[in-house]
Structure 1
Amino acid sequence: MNDKKAGRSLPSVLMLILFIVFTVVALFPLFALLLASFKPSQELLRYGLNLKIQPELLTLRNYMSVFLPNEFGATSSYLLWYKNSIVITAVFTVICLLFSSLVGYGLAVYRFAGRNLIFLMVLVVMMIPIEILLLPMYKLMISLKLIDTIWGVILPFAVAPLPIFFFRQYAMGLPKDFLDASRIDGCTEFGIFFRIMMPLMAPAYGAMAILQALHSWNNFLWPIIVLRTNEKLTLPIGLSSLVTPYGNNYDILIAGSLLTVLPLIVLFLFFQRFFISGLTVGGVKG
């Protein structure tokens, strides 16, 4: 009996060791950046990123440069960029989850002519590189007068193909008995979705909230095309402006970049209980 327990525990121990190794490897760059954020720029330019700890060189000046715009003018807009990124990410995530789930739910539950054709078009859009769509989307934003606005960043991707596909697959695995019972009780179709189906799709919402928020928070290509003024920029664009041909503020750039990770960590901790279950169940039909 003890031999069987030892035999069962050995693979678990090996798996635990393997996961620990993977975790250390994954956190190694983050720790190097954390250490570099407390070093002066001269040290970074001379030795680059390293794990050498020299207490006499560690300083909070880099973070002071981020949060004290009156003293250091180069990063005077950092908090404004931070606010813009939070607003755009929050609004985009809510809108994208709402409309994408409605479309995915409709394709999964209702039977109508052209349903398969619409789903095929969603799959085709998933295969088109975003670079091909930049010019027509840019012309559309000019026509709608949405250049240099947050809506110009949000609306072109408000209904995304990946969340539609994910919500459709997830909704196809939900029990349909709730629909018939709700209709008998006189509930409307929108009432069925918002009162019954949406709570059942909570794991899917949690998984997609993390993925879509991460996409919006790190998005660089489309915002840099749409946004013009410094007051409207997001964090990725604003931080990239610190590296110029006339000077490279790598110390401030690293400190500011590390602070951008905090909202993503909070978001993942908030939705982590839905993340794994949402991905595993959403990928299985029925």
Structure 2
Amino acid sequence: MVHGRQDKLISAGLLAILIGFAFLSLFPVLSLLVASLSPASDLMRYGLAPELFFSSFDLENYRVIFGPEGSRYWTWYLNSIIVSSMLIALSLFFSSMVGYALAMYEFPGKRFIFIMVLLVLMIPFEIMMLPLFQLVITLGLIDTYFGTILPLIVAPVAVFFFRQYSLGLPKEVMEAARVDGCTEYGIFFRIMVPLMLPSFAAMAIFQGLISWNNFLWPLLVLRSNDMLTLPIGLATLLTPYGTNYQLLFAGAMLSIVPIVILFLVFQRYFIAGLMSGSVKG
């Protein structure tokens, strides 16, 4: 009886601690929501001080962003959706094939290629920006969607993840498919891809989050205002001569929506994909 009460108290204490951590994690989002519902005058007066939580709320900021003044915001929003969608599709396609090949086939130089993937994985992206920027200039991809996604199409982290996940796939299925006359591409696309859906879902969320929040590389590549992605576009609202709080906070709040939708779509595969990719191999 005593042990039962102690277990309940421990469980209640752990639950309270977890709720506290969850609140701390969500507090920035809550602050952003409050700021997006607050008049611009209160934002200029209080900033994000506690007094703002007790101010009057209205939807004026959202009326501005859905009005004529917010047209440039939706251009940035569409650019981010296009760039992120292209990156997710191309990265999943190419990275999964590379990771699958490194896991399931034997060929000369396989170990060397995998070591190179690990080495690139350990190099900070900032070190590689200059040669990548020179490559984009040479290819004439400055101020284009493809130039924005080029460095991340075959990301080392994605290749490593798919390689680790593919190590757990049954090779007996491949042999049976070969006996039935299936080609190697047919084995991958018709048999292995359905088995790899959890890894695709997990990596889609990961790559989508990276692309949606990417700031530094698009800042180097993109030039015209009509090509800017959402992070860069929102940054242009911060100037020494004044800040457009109405667009900034409401726009930042709406920018969360695609990532939330992406996670909700793939959430049932997310944990399974991460766990499988991390323990196999």
Compared with structure 1, are the counterparts of its residues 177 and 82 closer, same or farther at alpha carbon in structure 2 (3 Å cutoff)? Answer: same
Alignment correspondent of 1:202? 197
Report the more deviating stretch, 263-272 or 45-54: 45-54
TM-score by length of 1: 0.93
Judged with a 3 Å threshold, the aligned counterparts in structure 2 of structure 1 residues 10 and 112 are, in CA distance, closer, same or farther, namely farther
Which has the larger displacement, 215-224 or 33-42? 33-42
- Structure 1 residue 65: Cα displacement: 1.8
Structure 2 residue aligned with 1:261, among 246, 252, 256? 256
* Equivalent residue number for residue 61 of structure 2: 62
**Residue identity opposite 1:140 in structure 2:** L
Shift of 1:17: 2.2
Of stretches 33-42 and 159-168 in structure 1, the one that deviates more from structure 2 is: 33-42
- Cα deviation 1:38-72 (Å, max 9, x = unaligned): 212221122121454446x3222211221112xx3
Asked whether the 8 Å contact 1:32–1:50 carries over to 2, the reply is no
Q: Within the alignment, does 1:12 sit opposite 2:11 as a pair?
A: yes
* Secondary structure in 2 matching 1:58: coil
Aligned equivalent of 1:232: 227
What whole-Å deviation, never above 9, does each CA across 1:194-242 have from its counterpart, x for those lacking one? 1111111111111111010000000001111111111111000100000
- Residue 273 of structure 1, CA deviation: 0.7
2: CA distance, partners of 1:103 / 1:94: 15
Q: Give the secondary-structure state (helix, strand or coil) at the position aligned to 1:156.
A: helix
Instruction: Indicate the residue corresponding to 2:180 in structure 1.
Output: 185
Q: Specify the alignment match of 2:117 in structure 1.
A: 122
- Compared CA separation, residues 191 and 11, structure 1 to 2 (3 A): farther
Superposition RMSD on alpha carbons, in Å? 1.6
Q: Which amino acid aligns with 1:61?
A: E
Report matched runs for 1:1-286 at 5 Å.
6=5, 8-52=7-51, 53-54=53-54, 57-69=56-68, 72=69, 75-286=70-281
Find the residue that maps to 1:283 and give its secondary structure: helix
> 1:245: how far off?
1.2
Amino acid at match of 2:61: N
> Is the 2:64–2:246 Cα contact (8 Å) retained in structure 1?
no
- Residues 44, 251 of structure 1: 8 Å contact kept: no
SS at match of 1:77: helix
In structure 2, list runs of 5 or more residues that go unmatched: none
Q: Distance in 2 between matches of 1:9 and 1:81?
A: 51
Identical counterparts, % of pairs? 53
DSSP-derived class of the 1:112 partner: coil
Deviations 1:228-278 (A, max 9, x none): 111111000100000111111233211100000000101111111111111
Find the aligned partners of 1:165 and 1:282 in 2 and give their Cα distance: 9
Report if the CA contact (8 A) 2:65-2:246 is conserved.
Answer: no
| Matched AA of 1:66 | I
